[in-house]
Structure 1
Amino acid sequence: MAVFHLLLSWATQVLMYLFVLIFVAFLGYCLYVKYIHMKYDHIPGPPRDSFLLGHSTTFLKAMENNGVIHDNMLEWAEKYGPVCRVNILHYASVLITCPEMTKEILMSPKYPKDKLVYRRLFNLFGQRFLGNGLVTAHNHEQWYKQRRIMDPAFSSLYLRGLMGTFNERAEKLMDKLSEVAESKTEVNMLKLVNCVTLDVIAKVAFGVDLDLLTNTSPFPNAIETCLKGMMHYVRDLLFEYKPQNRPFINEVKEACRLLRTTGAKWIQERKTMIQNGGNVPKDILTQIIKAAGKEESMTKEDEEFMLDNFVTFFIAGQETTANQLAFCIMELARHPDILEKARKEVDEVIGMKQDISYDNLGELTYLSQVLKETLRLYPTAPGTSRDVIEDIVVDGIPIPAGITCFFSSYVAGRMEKFFKDPLTFDPDRFHPDAAKPYYCYYPFALGPRSCLGQNFAQMEAKVVMAKLLQRFEFTLVPGQSFDILDTGTLRPKSGVVCTIKHRNYKN
């Protein structure tokens, strides 16, 4: 009995010590949060939702209601000015809409990518995701080495050679739309263009035929699941600790594993082709293997590094272009005058011919304006962030080193001070003779870390849109919303459901 009381007394003391340690640690954390507040509270910003959670409650509510958190940021930017403070736990960041500072930070290599966000993209809930690929690499030298090796796969000479594939895959979409027109059924355009862009990236980047317009595949759902998981993992630091989220988290991890397992298979097939002296294209897959740099003695980390870039290009090369195309179709259907002007240009440049040439793309000036205006209102990858490693001054406000600066093309693109009547869809903003937006339009980011595949994406989008305008009439099905779904990238919530008809050509 005495031993029992002794053990009970010892256990009680241990619990007391643990309680005191937890209390002291929590108090210390609260003091640190207070220190962060004192350090940055001179910067304008909205009142915090709470002392510890900061503004995270606002973002979580937006996510729960299928809102767009960039709309919250837009409201804050208009109210608090070109530099706006945001707090989440012990992290402080500033939303910057000042064009001069946007230029200064994004155009310079000395401001690294935000450690908090981009390191969380290394894995999703413990399953490796983007790792240290081209988008997430934090170390500038590591990034620069990758970028230099990848550049040949995006040179203008190589992109010219992709026109055959762009035309071929877009033709498959036209065949599908012809079936839809004849059957007089409604069609979800986002799903169709998703198939096309995934087909294109699989073919031109990795040499694989998926033919998703006729075949079923787990890849579209896996990509969507990963993106949703990414949004929750980055924006809700407590998401993975809530038991009710466990089934979804397992789905995300399984989707990540599917993409990386597929990448490993395709990489091994290409390496075998290289070793056998086969005719190897200078595509993204070949460059990914070169970027690893140790084809003879590949370590486990080298293998993972290749898969990082595979997943990066597989997702980025499909998702954002598909969303841009869907938004573009939605806006053209809402604006018959703009649609007619774009169609007239396509008729003049392309006529009745089936294959669109590289030179034709340069002649589609108005269609380029339409696509740019689509990205102003709906930048499918809406923001980027950088760490500030030295004290700076923005619009007269001192910003101490150690903070993260966030830049949103969505926010800047919808501000009245940069674009008159910003919610009006007006392609003439990007007329060749119009004044160019000064560092307030950057749907592909800016500077050395801008999107490597932006020319690829816009070529593909032009080919698809030109063929669609050349062949078909499309009308939005009444009653659907024009809301935006924020899944990390931005996409049309409705899916852009249309009825399709063959064009009646007039003599």
Structure 2
Amino acid sequence: MAFFYQFVLWAGYSLLCLLILSLIGFLCYCVYIKHIHMKYDHIPGPPRDSFLLGHSPILQRPTLHFTNVHDIFLEWAEIYGPVCRINSLHYVILLVTCPETTKEILMSAEYPKSKVMYGRLSSLFGTRFLGNGLVTSQNHEQWYRQRRIMDPAFRSLYLQGLMGNFNERAERLMEKLTELADSKTEAKMLHLFNHVTLDVITKVAFGMDLNMLQSPDSPFPKAIQICLKGLVIYTRDTFFQLCPKNRPFIKEVREACDFLRATGAKWISDRRAAIHNGEDVPKDILTQIIKTASKEEDKNEYDEELMLDNFVTFFIAGETTANQLAFCIMELGRHPDILAKVKKEVDSVIGMKQEISYDDLGSMTYLSQILKETLRMYPPAPSTSRDVAKHMVIDGIHIPGGVICKFDTYITGRMEKFFKDPLMFDPDRFHPDAPKPYYCYYPFLLGPRSCLGQKFSQMEAKVVMAKLLQRFDFTLVPGQSFCIMDMGTLRPKSSVVCMIKHRSPN
């Protein structure tokens, strides 16, 4: 019995010590938070919702319904100026809309991608997602090596050789649209574009013919959507994992990540084996990458996991192109004058021919303007962030080192001081003779970390749009929303539902 009382006394004493230490730790953390506030509160910013959580509660609210958090950032940028302070726990994030600072930081390799922001994209709920691939890698040497390996697969000469694949996959979409037009069935354009862009990336990058337009039950689109939902929640809701009712969704996200990576591992392994055995293999992006990587002096560094990281990144890139195309259709449906003008250009450049050439793409300048204006108003990947370790001055405000600078092209693209009537869809902003936007328009980022696949993406978008405009008329189904959803990438909430008709001969 004495032993029992001694044990109870010891357990009570240990618990009391633990509580005291926890309280001391919490008080120390509160003191540190206060120190951070005193260090950075001279920078303009909205009132904090919470001493500890800062602005996190207001930024978590859109997460529940996947609404567009960037509209909140836009409002703050308009109110508080070119540099706006955002607090989240002990982190300070500066929303920067100053073009000179945008140029200074994004055009330099001196400022790494934010460990806090991009580290959250590396894995979802403990399962590896984008890992340390091209998008998320913070180590410059590791990133540069990956970029060097992948560059040959995205050079203009190589991409020109992909025009046949772009045309073939776009033709499959035209066949699907023909079915819908003949049956007078509504077309969910975002859904169709998602399938065709995935078809393109799986064929052009990995030599796989999945034909997702005719395979509505394909697991790939669903897996990608689940991962993107998980990404939004994981990066913005700190306490989501603590709630037991969320465990089924977390399990679903983990399984989706595992599915994408397992599929990639099999495709990569099969291709490596085929190359090793001297078999004929497709001259696609995967072959280019494997052969280029094999020539590297340190062949082990570009390991299987890094290649899988970029495999998943390709799929997410296909999602962004689909979103751009859907937004483009949405705006053309709302602006019949612009639609008529671009159809006239398409008719004059490609006429009735089925195969679009690389030179044809360069001749469709007004279509290029439309795609650029779409990216101004609806950039699918709207923001990036950099760690700034040293002191600097932004718009006359002294910024102590140790902050995260966030740059958001959705915000700058919708600010009156950069674009007149910013909410008006006007492709003439990007006329060849119009003044170029000065570091306030960067849908594919800027500088050394700009998007490797931007030329690939816009070639694909142009081929798809040109064929669609050449053959079909479309009208938006009344009553649908034109709101924006934030699903990790910005996308139309309505799926852009259209009625499709065959174009009448002129």
TM-score interval for Structure 1 and Structure 2 normalised by the shorter chain: over 0.9
Structure 2 stretches lacking a partner, 5+ long: none
Aligned residue identity for 1:335:
H
Task: Give, in whole Å, the separation in 2 of the partners of 1:298 and 1:363.
Answer: 42
* Counterpart position of 1:269: 270
Give the match's secondary structure for 2:303.
Answer: helix
Question: Is this contact kept in 2: 1:146–1:291, CA < 8 A?
Answer: no
Question: Is this contact kept in 2: 1:289–1:306, CA < 8 A?
Answer: no
Task: Give, in whole Å, the separation in 1 of the partners of 2:390 and 2:360.
Answer: 47
Question: Is this contact kept in 2: 1:85–1:93, CA < 8 A?
Answer: yes
* Counterpart position of 1:81: 81
Note if 1:211 corresponds to 2:211: yes
1:396 deviation in Å? 0.5
* Counterpart position of 2:379: 379
- Note the alpha carbon deviations across 1:41-64, whole angstroms, 9 max, x for none: 111100000101110111111222
- Note the alpha carbon deviations across 1:389-418, whole angstroms, 9 max, x for none: 211110001111110000000000000000
- Note the alpha carbon deviations across 1:82-105, whole angstroms, 9 max, x for none: 000000111111000000110000
Aligned residue identity for 2:312:
V
Q: How do residues 420-435 of structure 1 correspond to structure 2 at under 5 angstroms? A: 420-435=420-435
Q: How do residues 4-153 of structure 1 correspond to structure 2 at under 5 angstroms? A: 4-153=4-153
* Counterpart position of 2:331: 331
TM-score (norm 1): 0.97
Detail structure 1 runs of 4+ shifted over 6 Å in the superposition. Answer: 294-301
* Counterpart position of 2:492: 492
Task: Give, in whole Å, the separation in 2 of the partners of 1:422 and 1:140.
Answer: 36
1:492 deviation in Å? 0.3
* Counterpart position of 1:393: 393
Task: Give, in whole Å, the separation in 2 of the partners of 1:424 and 1:111.
Answer: 34
Structure 1 stretches lacking a partner, 5+ long: none
Superposed CA RMSD: 1.6
1:286 deviation in Å? 2.6
- Note the alpha carbon deviations across 1:198-222, whole angstroms, 9 max, x for none: 0000000011101011123100010
* Counterpart position of 2:279: 278
- Note the alpha carbon deviations across 1:215-259, whole angstroms, 9 max, x for none: 231000100111111111111222222212111110100000000
Question: Is this contact kept in 2: 1:292–1:302, CA < 8 A?
Answer: no
1:283 deviation in Å? 3.2
Question: Is this contact kept in 2: 1:153–1:282, CA < 8 A?
Answer: no
Note if 1:319 corresponds to 2:319: yes
* Counterpart position of 2:411: 411
Task: Give, in whole Å, the separation in 1 of the partners of 2:410 and 2:297.
Answer: 45
Q: How do residues 411-490 of structure 1 correspond to structure 2 at under 5 angstroms? A: 411-490=411-490
- Note the alpha carbon deviations across 1:1-20, whole angstroms, 9 max, x for none: 22222111111101100100
Task: Give, in whole Å, the separation in 1 of the partners of 2:448 and 2:291.
Answer: 21
Question: Is this contact kept in 2: 1:332–1:338, CA < 8 A?
Answer: yes
* Counterpart position of 1:349: 349
Q: CA distance change for structure 1 residues 451 and 133 in 2, over 3 Å: closer, same or farther?
A: same
Question: Is this contact kept in 1: 2:153–2:289, CA < 8 A?
Answer: no
Question: Percent identity over the alignment?
Answer: 70
Q: CA distance change for structure 1 residues 406 and 503 in 2, over 3 Å: closer, same or farther?
A: same
Task: Give, in whole Å, the separation in 1 of the partners of 2:282 and 2:133.
Answer: 21
Aligned residue identity for 2:43:
I
Give the match's secondary structure for 1:362.
Answer: helix
Task: Give, in whole Å, the separation in 2 of the partners of 1:302 and 1:121.
Answer: 19
* Counterpart position of 1:162: 162
* Counterpart position of 2:240: 239
1:298 deviation in Å? 8.2
- Note the alpha carbon deviations across 1:144-187, whole angstroms, 9 max, x for none: 11101111100000010010000000000001000100000111
Aligned residue identity for 1:284:
I
